[in-house]
């Protein structure tokens, strides 16, 4: 029978024989008018339509696991359904209805457009627009509905009771897309006692592309992932497997590092170019494949070659395992805040220039919050990042320091923060007016929208207590209470002064792992072997090493000292008798 679609022509006892394509329909003209129960055993390669003039039909399988109606088609939502119910008073029982087309387009499995339809113990499977719950009043009981995006859509008025909604989204696809036009329409979806679960394999596509971006009145081409700056967020759950297919369309060879993620016996997915892998050449792809094991919280990813991480970075959000709550008050909503740095000129040129002179690279032209410097900078007002909050609610901010070099203070005017997690490790919560965050570090804080509704600046500025010039201007974003007009001037927070060493030490001293029964700090207590390392950092000219012979300071280059012979603690910057190894030789 193949491509033919099957219409139900009469009140019928529908007898579907076991086996492919053999479909016998016994019309029962003598059967009771309102009762038409089909015993459906298996339908493969058939589309089923119950037309509008055939109400009171029941399709019933013995067991949804082996009563499968399947049809593979993509296209407009009214064309592709495997099963279309246009009649009223339809009942479906113990059926699997699926459209296996996959991820690349709309593919409806079940369309329900008749009034008073009910489905019991059914499985409805596809990816996009799985269940077109189109029009009428419907009831779904104990059904399993699977899809990737908008997988329950339409404008019906439906009750889903004790159903299981399973997302197989490859990124962050919506479960429902109810599309009533106005709030006065009496349609909508109600979910009662339903579960939501998601696939354990999360797939992402990262396309490395060059894009022109403008900040501080300067436009320049930057390297991005999927044209986004910052790049896309990786959402996973603890225990998930992640596959990120990185395809490089830029003129740089490239690799991506999953910062802070534990790669147990899986070094080839870690990302540092020339260390665990060859960089991905222009025009090539590489799929990073890793499991998220024993970690939950915020981490991030970034390019791991040259200085491309200046623009190639994004957040990794690891949710706790299904059914597990955060070990702190559940936030109403959460936001990612990625702190970064912007140079008006090409970042690779900045590094090359610095190396040529034996100097640290030229300082950045601005710090940024989610790629934006904020309205205290030229040409930046309309690009400011804003989060909208509602009074009385709790928010989780996932703060990531993606700046290349600077430790940053961060604060929100009028609002305290409760630190609950650092680098995907839960901490003993403490409240603070400002945080300090090192490059590469992440910090999760809770905030309460408990102040007079208004607009408040969130601000970041470096901490630097050595006599070095740094980009010390303040990047800002705005925390805005709902309904407050954009014309209200925000209030700036009081950040610690740039050389506030006391604040920095005091803040770091407060960091303690949560160490609860649920999130224990599993520190090995038995030491097998003691190792003693010292690390020195030289800022003085080293005349005995002529190959470098720098006349300026060395800070920001790395020197390891493997024969410790410190004269005294006061000579912190003058380790004597050491052998220096330059770790990060700049690309020549």
SS3 assignment, position 56: coil
| Residues 278-297 close enough to bind ligand NAG by CB under 6 A | 281, 285, 287, 289-291
Rounded CA separation 52/23 (Å):
22
Q: Residue 156 corresponds to which tokens in the numbers above? A: 């019906």
Closer Cβ to ligand NAG, 94 or 380, answer by number: 94
Rounded CA separation 123/365 (Å):
56
Q: Residue 125 corresponds to which tokens in the numbers above? A: 């499977």
| Residues 233-272 close enough to bind ligand NAG by CB under 6 A | 241, 245, 247, 251-253, 266
Q: CA-CA distances (angstroms) from residue 151 to 83, 112, 127, 242?
A: 15, 13, 7, 22
CB of 90 to ligand NAG, least distance (A): 13
Q: Which of 435, 220, 445 is nearest to 310 (CA)?
A: 220
Which among 168-176, 208-216, 351-359, 515-523 is the span making contact with ligand NAG, rule CB under 6 A?
Answer: 208-216
| Residues 470-489 close enough to bind ligand NAG by CB under 6 A | 472
Q: CA-CA distances (angstroms) from residue 249 to 66, 208, 231, 290, 524?
A: 46, 5, 15, 23, 45
Residues 6+ apart with CB under 8 A from 216: 342, 344, 365, 366, 373, 377, 378, 379, 380
- By the rule CB under 6 A, 515 interacts with ligand NAG: no
Contact mark string toward ligand NAG, 5..44, x via CB under 6 A: ----------------------------xx----------
Contact 58, 38 (CB under 8 A): yes
Which among 8-16, 210-218, 379-387, 487-495 is the span making contact with ligand NAG, rule CB under 6 A?
Answer: 210-218
- By the rule CB under 6 A, 456 interacts with ligand NAG: no
- By the rule CB under 6 A, 226 interacts with ligand NAG: no
Q: Which of 309, 263, 472 is nearest to 401 (CA)?
A: 309
| Residues 390-429 close enough to bind ligand NAG by CB under 6 A | 416
Which among 92-100, 181-189, 522-530, 542-550 is the span making contact with ligand NAG, rule CB under 6 A?
Answer: 92-100
CB of 269 to ligand NAG, least distance (A): 6
Q: Which of 47, 93, 166, 257 binds ligand NAG (CB under 6 A)?
A: 93
Q: What is the per-residue burial (b if ≥16 Cβ within 10 Å, else e) of 410-425?
A: bbbbebebbbbbbbbb
Closer Cβ to ligand NAG, 136 or 575, answer by number: 136
Rounded CA separation 387/477 (Å):
8
Q: Which of 30, 212, 551, 569 binds ligand NAG (CB under 6 A)?
A: 212
β-strand partners of 195: 164
Q: Residue 127 corresponds to which tokens in the numbers above? A: 């990816």
- By the rule CB under 6 A, 139 interacts with ligand NAG: no
CB of 469 to ligand NAG, least distance (A): 4
CB of 183 to ligand NAG, least distance (A): 29
Unique residue bearing structure tokens 């799929």? 287
- By the rule CB under 6 A, 469 interacts with ligand NAG: yes
- By the rule CB under 6 A, 355 interacts with ligand NAG: no
Closer Cβ to ligand NAG, 183 or 325, answer by number: 325
Q: What is the per-residue burial (b if ≥16 Cβ within 10 Å, else e) of 381-408?
A: eebbbebebeeeebbbbbbbbbbbbbbb
Q: Which of 28, 37, 103, 162 binds ligand NAG (CB under 6 A)?
A: 162
CB of 165 to ligand NAG, least distance (A): 9
Q: CA-CA distances (angstroms) from residue 298 to 136, 150, 200, 425, 539?
A: 43, 27, 18, 9, 34
Q: Tell me, by CB under 6 A, how many residues bind ligand NAG.
A: 41
Closer Cβ to ligand NAG, 16 or 578, answer by number: 16
Contact 463, 428 (CB under 8 A): no
Residues of the shown chain interacting with ligand NAG in the complex, contacts defined by CB under 6 A: 33-34, 63-66, 72, 93-94, 100-101, 120-121, 162, 164, 194-195, 210-212, 221, 241, 245, 247, 251-253, 266, 281, 285, 287, 289-291, 416, 431, 433, 469, 472, 498-499
């Amino acid at each position: 029978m193949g491509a033919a679609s099957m219409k139900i022509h009469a009140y019928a006892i529908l007898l579907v024989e076991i086996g492919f394509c053999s479909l016998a329909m016994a019309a029962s003209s003598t059967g009771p008018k309102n009762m038409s129960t089909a015993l459906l055993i298996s339908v493969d390669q058939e589309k089923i339509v119950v037309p509008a003039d055939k109400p009171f039909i029941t399709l019933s399988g013995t067991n949804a696991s082996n009563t499968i109606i399947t049809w593979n088609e993509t296209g407009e939502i009214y064309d592709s359904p495997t099963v279309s119910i246009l009649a009223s008073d339809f009942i479906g029982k113990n059926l699997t209805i699926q459209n296996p087309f996959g991820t690349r387009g709309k593919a409806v499995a079940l369309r329900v457009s008749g009034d008073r339809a009910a489905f019991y113990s059914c499985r409805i499977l596809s990816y996009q627009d799985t269940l077109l719950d189109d029009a009428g009043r419907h009831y779904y009981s104990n059904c399993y509905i699977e899809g990737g995006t908008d997988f329950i859509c339409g404008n019906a008025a439906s009750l889903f009771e004790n159903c299981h909604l399973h997302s197989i989204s490859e990124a962050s696809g919506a479960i429902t897309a109810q599309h009533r036009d106005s709030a006065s329409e009496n349609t909508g979806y109600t979910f009662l006692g339903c579960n939501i679960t998601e696939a354990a394999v999360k797939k992402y596509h990262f396309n490395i592309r060059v894009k022109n971006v403008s900040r501080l009145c300067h436009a320049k081409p930057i390297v991005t992932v999927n044209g986004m700056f910052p790049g896309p967020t990786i959402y996973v759950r603890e225990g998930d497997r992640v596959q990120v297919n990185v395809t490089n369309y830029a003129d740089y060879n490239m690799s991506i590092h999953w910062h802070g993620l534990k790669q147990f016996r899986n070094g080839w997915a870690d990302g540092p170019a020339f260390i665990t892998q060859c960089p991905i050449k222009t025009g090539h792809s590489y799929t990073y494949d890793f499991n998220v094991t024993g970690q939950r919280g915020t981490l991030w990813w970034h390019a791991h070659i040259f200085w491309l991480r200046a623009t190639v970075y994004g957040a990794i959000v690891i949710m706790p395992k299904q059914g597990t709550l955060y070990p702190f008050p559940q936030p109403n909503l959460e936001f990612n805040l990625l702190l970064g740095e912007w140079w008006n000129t090409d970042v690779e040129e900045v590094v090359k220039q610095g190396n040529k002179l034996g100097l640290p690279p030229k300082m950045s032209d601005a710090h940024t919050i989610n790629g934006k410097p904020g309205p205290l900078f030229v040409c930046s007002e309309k690009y400011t990042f804003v989060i909208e909050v509602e009074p009385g609610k709790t928010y989780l901010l996932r703060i990531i320091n993606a700046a290349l070099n600077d430790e940053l203070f961060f604060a929100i005017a009028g609002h305290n923060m409760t630190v609950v997690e650092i680098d995907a490790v839960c901490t003993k919560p403490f409240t603070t007016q400002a945080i300090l965050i090192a490059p590469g570090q992440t910090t999760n804080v809770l905030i309460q929208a408990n102040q007079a509704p208004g607009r408040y600046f969130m601000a970041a500025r470096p901490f630097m207590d050595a006599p070095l010039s740094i980009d010390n201007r303040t990047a800002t974003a705005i925390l805005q209470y709902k309904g407050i007009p954009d014309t209200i001037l925000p209030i700036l927070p009081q950040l610690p002064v740039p050389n506030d060493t006391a604040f920095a030490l005091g803040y770091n001293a407060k960091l303690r792992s949560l160490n609860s029964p649920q999130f224990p700090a599993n520190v090995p207590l038995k030491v097998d072997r003691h190792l003693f390392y010292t690390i020195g950092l030289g800022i003085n000219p080293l005349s005995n090493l002529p190959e470098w012979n720098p006349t300026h300071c060395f800070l920001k280059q790395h020197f390891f000292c493997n024969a410790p012979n410190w004269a005294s603690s006061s000579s912190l910057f003058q380790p004597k008798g050491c052998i220096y190894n330059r770790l990060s030789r700049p690309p020549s």
